[in-house]
Amino acid sequence: MDLRLRDTVVLVTGASRGLGAEIALALAGEGAHVVATARSKESLDDVAARGGGRVSVIEADMRDEASVAGLADEVVARHGRIDGLVNNAGIAPAGRFVDQDPAIWKDAMAVNVIAPMLLAQAAGRHMIAQGGGRIVNVASTTGVRGKPYLVGYSTSKGAVVRLTEALAAEWAAKNVQVNCVAPGAFRTDAQRAVLESPDLLERRVAKIPAGRMADPAELVPLACLLLSPLSSFTTGAIFVVDGGESGKL
């Protein structure tokens, strides 16, 4: 199926590894012009090298509000437009809630909520002016169902879910679709501690009805579809991709 992504322009955050890198490379494979951003220039350059000349990079820290707010303008300066935005960058501080310093929460909110808000706002202005666009926010199953020892992360990803729904309702008439994917347990660097411990891995997999963790490539087709004109009537949706984990009693 042709997703009609050729020569569209998409900004992907957190694109130096994991889900972000896989999404960026898949979009490039569909013929899109991808601007990949993250803190690690070296890792971004590795992704760009695999992107067939269709991936350019911008080094940026999602904690730097001024830098984040200017990313969409930089994309438009390079390519003349911005058709898609993937808000993928995120951090997941873990620990006992009663012991957590408020600074940890502020950091999580800065990266997981404020940065996507600023990016959506800046990109949205261009999308509305050009007649449309698509935004995909990457949340988490912990934003749909709370998880102990990840209270700050769960709270921030819950905010991403509400941001998605509210923006979708506000911008539907402007032909800007806003959707959210909520991944469960994927085999990425963020899960390294689990993947490297047979005991932890066994216990984690036991909670998943599908009986395994997912490969990052298993999220890519959905993300690409949501960035495609083919999904122009889909907005405000939250797609949980977790092997059935959050659906069980």
Q: Which residues are catalytic?
A: 153
Say if residues 133 and 123 touch (Cβ distance below 8 Å).
yes
Quick check: helix, strand or coil at residue 183? strand
Rounded-to-integer distance, Cα 19 and Cα 87, Å? 11
Rounded-to-integer distance, Cα 231 and Cα 127, Å? 16
Number of H helices, E strands in the chain: 10, 7
Say if residues 144 and 240 touch (Cβ distance below 8 Å).
yes
Strands 55-59 and 84-87: unpaired
Helices (H), the chain: 18-29, 41-49, 65-69, 71-79, 102-109, 115-130, 151-171, 192-195, 198-206, 220-226
